[in-house]
Structures are given as structure tokens and as C-alpha cells.
Structure 1
Amino acid sequence: METEQLKAFVIEKIEDMKGRDIVALNITDKASFADYMVICSGSSNRHVKSIANSVGMECRAKGLEPLGMEGNDVGEWALVDLGDIIVHVMTDEQRDKYNLEQLWAE
């Protein structure tokens, strides 16, 4: 799956799970480890875990095994590493605290 197709697929799956405030940042010029960072919010720790698990499961169903999944134990901030795309699912508190959009926009 091409990177742009994967990005659209991931965003669609996040929307299906009612993830909020979805932002896709092109980090090609800023990082060597990925092309995009997709950031979204979940309404609770359980919601964050559900969104991350769903993205991982849906990608596996398409034949794309995530390289890694982190943070699903606590659920305040979960990360799904899809190679060219890194997905961050966060509670509002964590998202406000770390402000990844601002950090990577500079």
C-alpha cells in the first residue's frame, strides 16, 4: 500500500472509531524514520486503547503488520508504528501536555 493510501486508510479507521481532532503532519523533511505522523484524540483511556488496537487490527487485515505498538497498557498515549506512518492516539490531557503538532510544525 502506498504511503498516501495508507494515510487515508488510517484516518478512515480512526474516524470509524470516533477518534477526534485528527491531524496528519508531513514530516518527510524533518525526520528519517517516517513520512507522516497522524495524531488524534480519544475521549478516555479505554477509547485511546480501542482506537490504537483497531488501527493495528485493520492494518493486519490488509496485510500490513505494524512494526510496533506502545502505550496500550495505560491508554493515555498509544503509538502504532506503521513504518512510513506513525500514529499517536492520545487523551486530551496528554495531547495538550506534549503538543506534538507544535513540536513537529517548527
Structure 2
Amino acid sequence: MDINEITAAVVDALEDIKGQDIVVLDTSPLTSMFDRMVIASADSTRQTKALAHNVQEKLKEKGVPDQGIEGLASGEWVLLDLGSVVVHVMQPAVRQYYNLEELWSAAQDQRNKRNATG
């Protein structure tokens, strides 16, 4: 599967269990560690864990095994590493506090400014 198919499968798996506010960020210009970051919110620890497990299972069925999963014990923020795609499933308060979208967008803006000035 290519990166776009993997990302679409992740989003589908999150939508299956009512993941909210799903955002996909292209991180390829910023890091060589992964190409996409998918962030979603969940209403409870149970839903956070269920979303992460659903992504894990759906991608495994498609031949994309995970390389690690962190945060299942607390369930406030679960990170799933799929190699080229990293998935963050967070409860709203945690997501608002860490604000990954703004952090990575700011990094992209800084990179664009450096490239524009040469």
C-alpha cells in the first residue's frame, strides 16, 4: 500500500468508531521519521483505546502491521506507529493542551520562511 492508501485506511478505521475532529498532516517535509500524522479525538478512555485497536486491526488486515503502540494503560493519549504514518488518538483536553496541529504547522511555516529567504 502507498502512503495515501494507508492514510485513507487509518481515517476510515477512525470514522468506523466515531473518531472526532480527524486531521491529517503531511510531515514529510519536516522529518524523515514518518510521512503523515493523523490526529483524532475520543470522548472517553474506552473510546480512545477502541479507536487505536480498530486502526491497528484494520491496517493489519491490509498487511500494514503496527511497529508499536503507547498509552493504552491510561487511555488519555494513545500513539500508534505504523511506520510511515503515526496516529494520535487523544481525549479533547489532552489534545487541546498539546495542540499538535499548531506545533507541526508552526514548524512547516518556519521551514517555508527559511526556504523563501534562501
Helix, strand or coil at the partner of 2:88: strand
Helix, strand or coil at the partner of 2:6: helix
TM-score, normalised to structure 1, is 0.98
One-letter code aligned to 2:90: M
Aligned pairs (5 A) from 1:1-106 = 1-106=1-106
User: Which is helix-richer, 1 or 2?
Assistant: 2
Q: Distance in 1 between matches of 2:18 and 2:59?
A: 17
Q: How many residues align?
A: 106
Query: Which runs of 4 or more aligned residues in structure 1 lie more than 2 Å from their structure 2 counterparts after TM superposition?
Result: none
User: Which is strand-richer, 1 or 2?
Assistant: 1
Helix, strand or coil at the partner of 1:30: coil
**Percent same amino acid among aligned pairs?**
42
One-letter code aligned to 1:4: N
Helix, strand or coil at the partner of 1:80: strand
Please report the RMSD computed on the Cα atoms of aligned residues, expressed in angstroms: 0.6
Q: Distance in 1 between matches of 2:72 and 2:39?
A: 15
